[in-house]
Amino acid sequence: MSRIINFNEAILEATEEILTNHSNSIIVGLGVPDPKGIFGTTLGLTEKYGSNRVYDMPTAENAMTGIAIGAAINGLRPIMTHQRVEFSLLGIEQLINQAAKWHYMTGGKSRVPLVIRLIVGRGWGQGPQHSQFLEPIFAHVPGLKVLCPSSAYEAKGLLWSAFNDDNPVIFFEHRWLHSTKSIVPETPYSLPIGKCNIVEEGTDFTLVSYSYGLTECRKIAKILKSFDIHPEIVDIRSLRPIDHQTIIESVKKTGRLLCIDNGWSHMNIAAEIISNVVTETFKSLKSPPQRIGIADVPIPSTRSLANLVYPSLKDIAHKIETIMERKIFPDQFSFPENQDVPDQSFTGPF
Amino acid sequence: MPSIPSYKMDQETKYELLHSMLFIRLVEEKIAEKYSENQMRCPVHLSIGQEAIASGVCAHLSPNDKLISAHRSHAHYLAAGGDLKAMLCELYGKIDGCAKGKGGSMHLIDLEAGLISAVPIVGSSIAIGTGVAWSNRIQKLDGIVAIFLGDGATEEGVFSESLDFAALHDLKVLFVCENNHYSVYTHISERQHSKRSICDIARAHGITSFSAEGNEVVEVYDLTKEALSFMNDNACPVLVEFSTFRWREHCGPNWDDDLGYRKDGELKNWMDKCSIKSLRDNLGISDTRYLNLVNELNEMILDAFKHAESSQFPNESELVSDVYA
């Protein structure tokens, strides 16, 4: 049986199933048991599973990341949560030097089955230190796996996959996805790690993105339909390992590629995708691939500037005209403008 | 705080401690001697001069106990009963190494001996060891975790963060601070205020702590025994701080007193307090018996070196194995 639930409810549901089915699972994070329950993703867990399974923690991300690693190598399977990506940077030494290397540098003797949930902010004045999507930093490092669910369905399935994996897995949740809804099975399921999802089949060009970027993809695809243009939308889902093959196959079919990134363009995921497409299937390209990311600046708080940081649908439309090598949208066409909230129900505070 | 009783140590225990310290000393002297052959091509941090702490502490570890170490880990590995051949193979980069040659001297591991790992990023291991103790508690497993750290590591924020967590959750962690007064070439007086006390930092986090002379293995042994009994009686972490001194360079096989970063006579004073020599004198072992012990150990050590030298390098397929579990 499936039904429609929110992304944050899907995270909570997967977490409850994990706690129920795996006695060696524990949840830890600053604010996990608090009344807000990490944007609703951990609400009620302490009451249901007890404080010996569900932990708050000192404001000490560095040691706590190491402590979670220590717990993981000694028989537990922790899921650790930070309310923003930026807080995890205090523990990045542990993630990059220790967790990512552990299995290799112990000659395969020891393993770190650890999930780190990192939440990415946007809008409502989050500003320079609460809205960075730093996924390339983590995706750069062998030994880590990096997942980016784009819907409630992916959120539940990929959280299960992350938990079942015997390696450290970074699990990115875009804050603007928490309130999005999709059809989610009621029973536990997992999705393959390292496999793209073709969200919508199409023939005119390949549109690649991940996480919140998929929301933009769906919006522009809807507009494009009225112009009889049908992109093939590919959700990367897993940034490491990454499924280049599905993207290459799609480009072989369409001959054109646009990547929408959630972060800065410089040294980003789109660069990696395009590099591989150019290397592997250059001759099937009908036009130079394009990418679009956010403005190359720290993200300002004020909405008057922050709205300029993120690519608007109009910006994306222009990139589509570039790869299609023709004008598609009439000059007077009115695109929705960027807002500092995902929808009118969002009133922060973060 | 409990008083430290003076244990009347039996001769047999003393002899075992001497054996342990001498074994470590001879292994490391052989590493130093053979390093110039350029076959052990990895950084080595020798513990020569600091053996008493490893031997005195590890003598108390039982099979359920675990330990974690840092960059200067040879002594801990050997004192805990780590496999010498696997250690030397690791230094030689061979497939029979404890980490298949992928870790080197700074990443020793012997799970059978209880050594979780050694990691050279100063302070990092403190949190990981604390996490192991935490999971022991959650899973109701027996055993303590001994975390070996240096005076430099106490300057890292992760030290204080880990103390807090260990105290908060009543974890059975023995924090063992080997204060050798130098972080590479920098004396502790240039890094820490004279009023800063490592034991007091632990106390401020609610952790009982003791300190002793780290070159007196009997003191180390007795204090550790006391610390562990306090830990078991009270189900809490304990910190012990031992004062000691590294004789040779921070990293590498050589003597480096000529660089002038240490006070004149400082090395000599500490060498005069050699833990092996003082215990040997205390035991009153005859020269013949001592030399027999040295020869017996050296024979075993040479055999292990031969094994490491003749062991194979990992084949190409090892490059990409073990990246993911």
User: What pLDDT score does B8 carry?
Assistant: 62
- Give the DSSP letter of residue A90: G
Whether residue B3 is predicted with pLDDT greater than 80 in this model: the reply is: no
Asked if residue B241 lies in contact with residue B211, where contact means CB atoms within 8 angstroms, the answer is yes
Block residue for tokens 């020269």: B287
Chain B residues in contact with A142 (beta carbon < 8 A):
323
Chain A residues in contact with B116 (beta carbon < 8 A):
70, 73-74, 110
Q: Across chain B, which distance is largest between two alpha carbons, in Å?
A: 57
Mean pLDDT of chain A: 97
CB contact under 8 A, A67 and B128: yes
Chain A residues in contact with B126 (beta carbon < 8 A):
63, 66
- The DSSP H or E segment spanning B177 is strand B173-179
d(CA B198, CA B180): 13
CB contact under 8 A, A107 and B98: yes
CB pairs under 8 A between A and B: 143
C-alpha distances out from residue A262 to A7, A169, A199, B199, Å? 18, 19, 18, 48
Interface of A with B (CB under 8 A): 24, 26, 52, 57-58, 60, 62-76, 93-94, 97-98, 102-113, 142-143, 145, 166-167
- The DSSP H or E segment spanning A101 is helix A100-105
d(CA A115, CA A22): 14
Interface of B with A (CB under 8 A): 97-103, 107, 109, 111, 116-117, 119, 121, 124, 126-136, 138-139, 141, 157-158, 161-162, 164-165, 168, 321-325
CB contact under 8 A, A67 and B162: yes
DSSP string, B244-268: ----S-SSSSS--GGG--S-TTHHH
- Residues carrying CATH 3.40.50.970, chain A: 2-185
- Give the DSSP letter of residue A225: H
CB contact under 8 A, A93 and B124: yes
Whether residue A269 is predicted with pLDDT greater than 50 in this model: the reply is: yes
d(CA A150, CA A8): 12
- Residues carrying CATH 3.40.50.920, chain A: 197-324
CB contact under 8 A, A72 and B131: yes
CB contact under 8 A, B324 and A145: yes
- Give the DSSP letter of residue B47: -
Question: B124 CA to chain A: closest CA distance, Å?
Answer: 7
Cβ burial, residue B17 (10 Å; 0-12/13-18/19+): buried
Question: B284 CA to chain A: closest CA distance, Å?
Answer: 42
A35-68 residue pLDDT tens = 999 999 999 999 999 999 999 999 999 999 999 9
**CA nearest B319 in A: which residue?**
A104
Of A86, A319, A82, A348, the closest CA to residue A213 belongs to A319
- Give the DSSP letter of residue A326: S
C-alpha distances out from residue A251 to A35, A185, A244, A276, B163, Å? 47, 31, 11, 11, 54
CB contact under 8 A, B165 and A24: no
**CA nearest A26 in B: which residue?**
B138
Q: How many CA atoms lie within 13 A of B147 on its CB side?
A: 31
- The CATH-assigned architecture of domain A197-324 is 3-Layer(aba) Sandwich (3.40)
User: What pLDDT score does A284 carry?
Assistant: 98
Q: Give the pairing of strands B115-118 and B182-183.
A: unpaired
Question: B325 CA to chain A: closest CA distance, Å?
Answer: 6
Which of B133, B138, B321 faces A26 most closely, judged by CB atoms?
Answer: B138
CB contact under 8 A, B109 and A109: yes
- Say which residues have a Cβ less than 8 Å from residue B123's Cβ, sequence separation at least 6: B149, B153, B155, B156, B157, B158, B159
B92-137 residue pLDDT tens = 999 999 999 999 999 999 999 999 999 999 999 999 999 999 999 9
Strand order in the sheet with A169-174: A54-55, A25-29, A77-82, A115-120, A169-174, A145-147, A238-240
Torsion of CA B155, B159, B164, B167, to 10 degrees: -120
Whether residue B2 is predicted with pLDDT greater than 50 in this model: the reply is: no
CB contact under 8 A, A73 and B132: yes
B49-80 residue pLDDT tens = 999 999 999 999 999 999 999 999 999 999 99
**CA nearest B95 in A: which residue?**
A107
A199-216 residue pLDDT tens = 999 999 999 999 999 999
Which of B102, B165, B324 faces A58 most closely, judged by CB atoms?
Answer: B165
Whether residue B4 is predicted with pLDDT greater than 70 in this model: the reply is: no
Whether residue A344 is predicted with pLDDT greater than 90 in this model: the reply is: no
Give pTM, 2 decimals: 0.96
Chain A residues in contact with B102 (beta carbon < 8 A):
104-105, 107
Average pLDDT over residues B163-175: 98
Asked if residue B256 lies in contact with residue B247, where contact means CB atoms within 8 angstroms, the answer is no
Q: What's the CATH number for A2-185?
A: 3.40.50.970
Domains identified in chain B and CATH numbers: 11-248+257-311 (3.40.50.970)
- Say which residues have a Cβ less than 8 Å from residue B116's Cβ, sequence separation at least 6: A70, A73, A74, A110, B66, B67, B68, B109, B128, B129, B132, B145
Tell me the ipTM for this assembly: 0.95
Tokens read off for A230: 């049908």
Tokens read off for B210: 């003791």
Which of A66, A108, A111 faces B128 most closely, judged by CB atoms?
Answer: A66
Chain B residues in contact with A97 (beta carbon < 8 A):
119, 121, 124
d(CA B234, CA B148): 21
Chain A residues in contact with B71 (beta carbon < 8 A):
none
B283-302 residue pLDDT tens = 999 999 999 999 999 999 99
E strands within A115-269?
115-120, 145-147, 169-174, 181-185, 197-200, 205-209, 231-235, 238-240, 257-264
**CA nearest B104 in A: which residue?**
A105
- Give the DSSP letter of residue B278: H
Bridge-partner residues for A231, per DSSP? A205
Length of chain B: 325
Question: A12 CA to chain B: closest CA distance, Å?
Answer: 22
B219-261 residue pLDDT tens = 999 999 999 999 999 999 999 999 999 999 999 999 999 999 9
Which of B139, B164, B324 faces A103 most closely, judged by CB atoms?
Answer: B324
Chain B residues in contact with A145 (beta carbon < 8 A):
324
Q: Give the pairing of strands A2-6 and A181-185.
A: antiparallel
Catalytic residues of A: 61, 130
Asked if residue A163 lies in contact with residue A119, where contact means CB atoms within 8 angstroms, the answer is no
B303-313 residue pLDDT tens = 999 999 999 99
d(CA B323, CA B318): 10
What SS3 class is residue A301?
A: coil
Q: How many CA atoms lie within 13 A of B23 on its CB side?
A: 23
Whether residue B216 is predicted with pLDDT greater than 80 in this model: the reply is: yes
Of B25, B141, B133, B109, the closest CA to residue B75 belongs to B25
- How would you label A137-161 residue by residue, b for 16+ Cβ within 10 Å and e otherwise? bbbebebbbbbbbbbbbbbbbbbbb
Mean pLDDT of chain B: 96
A303-324 residue pLDDT tens = 999 999 999 999 999 999 999 9
Whether residue A347 is predicted with pLDDT greater than 90 in this model: the reply is: no
Chain A residues in contact with B324 (beta carbon < 8 A):
103, 143, 145, 166-167
- Which of B91, B105, B122, B135 to mutate: most A Cβ within 10 Å? B135
Whether residue B6 is predicted with pLDDT greater than 70 in this model: the reply is: no
A138-155 residue pLDDT tens = 999 999 999 999 999 999
